[in-house]
Chains A and B, each alone.
Chain A
Amino acid sequence: MKCLSVSNFCAALLCGLALQASAATISRTQFGQYDLASGSRQLYTLNLSATEGGANMNITQPDRAQPLFTSGISVCAFAPKTPGTGGYLHLQTQNKPAADSPFNAFMGYVSDNNLHVFIKPLSDSRQIVLIQDTLSLIVVDRAMMSITDAGCTP
């Protein structure tokens, strides 16, 4: 009877672990800017793909395949000797957004300033990132935004 109980327990545990290992992946990420005062809303699709030392990002509008702009991302620690989760998000723009792009002003800012970020690890190889300068939250794979102490200067 005891063996049966232990066996059942182990089976449940292994079953749980197997399920954990097959956790869901994010197949689409969209971000929207809304204003309750004016009733305006703008929606974009954000495509992220992991690269060595960071990620590539491109932004499209939901009804258009052509990206509004493409950029590389790296995250650098601003206090590498102190254990912490704060850092800077550095964007390396590969092509300039179109003149009428809503990201013109944004890219102008981030080309001169790295974005201050806070990162909170989640349990399953993911983390949530708060971009302090834009007050945006995003859940990403850890591989895409990990803090390193090299690669950019805050």
Chain B
Amino acid sequence: MQIVINKWRLDTSLNALIHCETGEIQRLGEFHFILLETFIQHAGEVLPRAWLINEVWKNRVVGNNSLPTAIYALRVALGDDGRVQEIIKTVPKKGYVFNKDFITERADDDAENTGAGEAVLFNPASAPVSDDTPDAVAESPPLPDGSEPVAPIKKASRRTKSLLLIFTLLLAAGISWGLMKGFHRETPVVNNDVTNPDTLLLHEEKNLETNRITLFHLRRNNDEIHASQLTAHIPAHLKKINALLETKQASLTLYYYTTMPRLSLSLLITDRCKQQNQLIMGIQNWQRSADELGSLVYQEVERTLNEMPVCQ
């Protein structure tokens, strides 16, 4: 019997996920794989953070970020949107719940037939997003190690109070996060005046896979023809740049403006000491090759990072 999650088949011999249609292999770290197995064994249950840490890392000493980092890695690997959280949902103040609707068990023969394309295992339209977490909590059986399951919330008034509290906390966290974001990156005032022909419009291109890159597309008013997105043009290279920034604990804010013959970029690179270097790039014939373009931007980001003074 094989287990498939959102078109990714679990391969326990490789500690990997294998895509049912493309055959792509994503190897997971030892603990990430154990975490995924734990989630699958307790799908639909709210698993407290402390219990998960104990279950996955046993008696090892782990940092505060180990579990959130592992959860993030699993979400990325499974194609889960960290904001919508369809597969792994965060239950504030409680823990995490793995949506069992995304788990499919298949016979071994079916699983081996990965290239057929008929094995559509997840239909977003039919897969319900569990947005009634308290019910999910109520159905949760006791945890196998005897620890207490999360208590169900029964009274509507208590639920309202809890939601109000969560909302307040999220609001506070949102404001703080916004301010913190401003600390690390340029955060433009997206105050687009579409009636004035002399203004620039700023459009943020969001990409959850490149969390260290903030990317803005500048356009002249009503210039919809230039709405092409750099994130779609060089996605693999942006991911590579993101990984590079990750290793250097740096971040990048990128602004760009396009015309047919020329791509104009302003890259603001901020290191962990909050030093900032700007690289302005004017690239002729930029549409000649997406690969060459992505490689050029990657090389220049790498060069700029390497030339920044070493953080003390």
Contact = CB atoms under 8 A, between A and B. Distances in A.
A57 B264 CA distance: 20
Contacts, number: 157
A130 interface: yes
B188 interface: yes
B284 A34 contact: yes
B199 A16 contact: no
A28 B293 CA distance: 23
Interface stretch (A18-26, A64-72, A90-98, A107-115): A18-26
Interface residues of A, number: 47
A106 interface: no
Interface in A125-140: 126, 128, 130, 134-139
B243 interface: no
Interface residues of B, number: 53
B296 interface: yes
B279 A32 contact: yes
B188 A34 contact: no
Interface in A20-59: 20, 22-37, 46
Given A32-B279, A137-B255, 10 more contacts: A23-B274, A24-B274, A26-B268, A36-B289, A37-B284, A79-B198, A119-B200, A120-B188, A130-B218, A137-B280
6 contacts: A24-B184, A27-B275, A122-B187, A128-B266, A135-B264, A138-B280
Interface of A: 5, 9, 12-13, 15-17, 19-20, 22-37, 46, 79, 83-86, 118-124, 126, 128, 130, 134-139
